[in-house]
Amino acid sequence: MFATKVLRQAAAHAERTPSIRFIGKRTIPASIDHSPKPHPASPTGSLPPSFTNGSSHSSFSVYRDHAQQFGPLRKTIKADSGIGGVPGSYLGPVEPPKGVFFDRNDLPARFHRQPLTAAEIEAIETGGAALVA
């Protein structure tokens, strides 16, 4: 009995264990550090400072120049960029100078009198009879 046990143990030690072993199904590690590190084939083994300061932009202003939201954000508003392109404060005071009055026609179109059609004029002139004639 004892001799067999010793032989078995000796055989177990003599058995070669290959370096290649099945280590199980590949899985994605539970925690991965995504912070930028030098590429393994990088000759310098280091990253430029622009990688490591957490942002590729030196300031918020620079970031905003590059930021995207339904297209690039416009930081600088230019005079030739149409309605809304120039801030209201640039357009001068809203109130008319003393003794000057705005004509209704100087106001935006929505404040103008509604134009009358020929049918409406006729309806008014005939006291509404033109509508049923």
Partner 1 sequence: MLSQRLIGRTAVRSAFKPSGLPSVVGASRWGRTYATEAETRDLVIIGGGVAGYVAAIKAGQEGMKVTCIEKRGTLGGTCLNVGCIPSKSLLNNSHLYHQILHDSKHRGIEVGDVKLNLKQLMKAKEQSVSGLTKGVEFLFKKNGVEYLKGSGSFQDEHTVKVQLNDGGETSVKGKNILIATGSEASPFPGLEIDEKRVISSTGAIALEEVPKKLTVIGGGIIGLEMASVWSRLGSEVTVVEFLDQIGGPGMDTEIAKNIQKILKKQGIKFKTGTKVVNGEKGSDSVRLNVDSAKGGKPESLDADVVLVAIGRRPYTQGLGLENIGLELDERGRVIIDQEYRTKIPHIRCVGDVTFGPMLAHKAEEEAVAAIEYIKKGYGHVNYGCIPSVMYTFPEVAWVGQSEQDLKKAGVNYRVGTFPFSANSRAKTNLDTEGLVKMLADAETDRLLGIHIIGPNAGEMIAEGTLALEYGASSEDIARTCHAHPTLAEAFKEAAMATYSKPIHF
Name the residues that contact partner 1, by CB under 8 A.
16, 18-20, 28-29, 32, 34, 36-44, 47-48, 50-51, 56, 66, 68, 70-72
Between 72 and 96, name the residue whose CB sits nearer to partner 1: 72
**In the bound complex, what is the minimum distance in angstroms from residue 39's beta carbon to partner 1?**
5
Q: How many residues does the chain have?
A: 133
**In the bound complex, what is the minimum distance in angstroms from residue 84's beta carbon to partner 1?**
19
Between 33 and 103, name the residue whose CB sits nearer to partner 1: 33
In three-state secondary structure terms, 65 is helix
**Do the Cβ atoms of 81 and 75 come closer than 8 Å?**
no
**In the bound complex, what is the minimum distance in angstroms from residue 30's beta carbon to partner 1?**
11
Between 62 and 129, name the residue whose CB sits nearer to partner 1: 62
**Do the Cβ atoms of 36 and 48 come closer than 8 Å?**
no
- Going by C-alpha positions, the residue among 132, 112, 128 that lies closest to residue 120 is 128
Between 40 and 99, name the residue whose CB sits nearer to partner 1: 40
CA atoms within a 13 Å half-sphere pointing along the CA-CB vector of 63: 8
